[in-house]
């Protein structure tokens, strides 16, 4: 994890933005929280500059929000900004997929624009689901075959390295995620009224998966 990101975030003038969907992703997650909550705690894995966690923390001060990222420079910047804004419900730590060091579960695990850069994507999805509290949700987007076609045509022009996707090393499918987790992935874009948005395309699939209360999920290997 973190291919190219340390270099990106070592530059003090990097863009503080959401890499998929921009500011609209904040409204999308807010609608998800309204419709599927209440949530006591949320973790954003691969948070980067954490545009969505910051906005959610400001809008929902009762929710404890954690941001995890592999790149230490952006984690440090995020901590400083959270302190500057007085956001006591927002914290950050360095952590890396596929195996996370965080030793707790959350009501909502949120992972967006991150699996593109993880070689062991299936293992990462399993580990993410393990950090969902029973009755909670995993929300993630993932590279599929259409993303792979995009990466082959456009990935070389990007600042970060999309070669894993272009090579098909970490390509997933919705059905495959369902088999992996033993639970049904549902379309996130539809759930948050964003199915017609210009960023909710066939090469940016995004799903949510509920973890059953009874713990009847497929064990990880």
Rounded to an integer, what distance in angstroms lies between the CA atom of residue 191 and that of residue 154?
29
Rounded to an integer, what distance in angstroms lies between the CA atom of residue 34 and that of residue 177?
25
In the predicted model, what is the mean pLDDT of residues 107-111?
Answer: 98
pLDDT of residue 178: 98
Rounded to an integer, what distance in angstroms lies between the CA atom of residue 1 and that of residue 115?
9
Helices (H), the chain: 5-10, 24-36, 51-59, 72-85, 121-130, 145-154, 163-166, 174-181, 188-191
The domain limits of the chain are 5-13+21-140+172-210
Per-residue pLDDT tens for 174-198?
A: 999 999 999 999 999 999 999 999 9
pLDDT of residue 187: 98
In the predicted model, what is the mean pLDDT of residues 99-125?
Answer: 96
> What's the token pair of residue 90?
């927002």
In the predicted model, what is the mean pLDDT of residues 67-94?
Answer: 96
Rounded to an integer, what distance in angstroms lies between the CA atom of residue 207 and that of residue 143?
12
SS3 category, 13: coil
pLDDT of residue 63: 98
Per-residue pLDDT tens for 18-32?
A: 677 678 999 999 999
Rounded to an integer, what distance in angstroms lies between the CA atom of residue 64 and that of residue 41?
5
Question: What is the number of other CB atoms lying within 10 angstroms of the CB of residue 68?
Answer: 26
In the predicted model, what is the mean pLDDT of residues 78-103?
Answer: 96
> Which one is predicted more confidently, 9 or 33?
33
Assessment of whether the complete model's pTM goes beyond 0.85: yes
**Confidence label for 160 from pLDDT (cuts 50, 70 and 90):** confident
**Confidence label for 13 from pLDDT (cuts 50, 70 and 90):** low
Q: Please state which of the four CATH numbers 3.40.640.10, 3.40.50.150, 2.60.40.420, 3.40.50.300 is assigned to the domain occupying 5-13+21-140+172-210.
A: 3.40.50.150
pLDDT of residue 2: 44
What percent of the chain shows pLDDT beyond 70?
A: 85
């Amino acid at each position: 994890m973190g291919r190219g990101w340390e270099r990106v975030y070592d530059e003090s003038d990097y863009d503080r933005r959401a890499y998929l969907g921009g500011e609209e992703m904040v409204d999308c997650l807010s609608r998800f929280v309204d419709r599927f909550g209440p949530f006591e705690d949320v973790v954003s894995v691969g948070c980067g500059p954490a545009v969505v966690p910051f906005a959610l923390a400001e809008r929902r001060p009762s929710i404890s929000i954690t941001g995890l990222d592999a790149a230490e420079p952006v984690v440090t910047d995020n901590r400083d900004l959270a302190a500057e804004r007085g956001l006591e419900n927002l914290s950050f730590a360095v952590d890396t997929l596929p195996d996370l060091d965080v030793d707790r579960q959350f009501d909502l695990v949120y992972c967006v624009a991150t699996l593109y850069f993880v070689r062991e994507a299936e293992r990462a999805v399993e580990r993410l689901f393990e950090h969902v509290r029973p009755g909670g949700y995993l929300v993630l987007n993932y590279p599929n075959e259409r993303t792979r076609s995009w990466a082959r045509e456009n990935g070389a022009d990007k600042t970060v390295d999309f070669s894993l996707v272009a090579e098909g090393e970490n390509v997933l499918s919705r059905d495959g995620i369902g088999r992996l987790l033993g639970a049904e992935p549902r379309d996130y874009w539809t759930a948050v009224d964003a199915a017609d948005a210009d960023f909710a395309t066939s090469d940016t699939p995004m799903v949510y998966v509920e973890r059953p209360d009874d713990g009847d999920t497929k064990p990880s290997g």
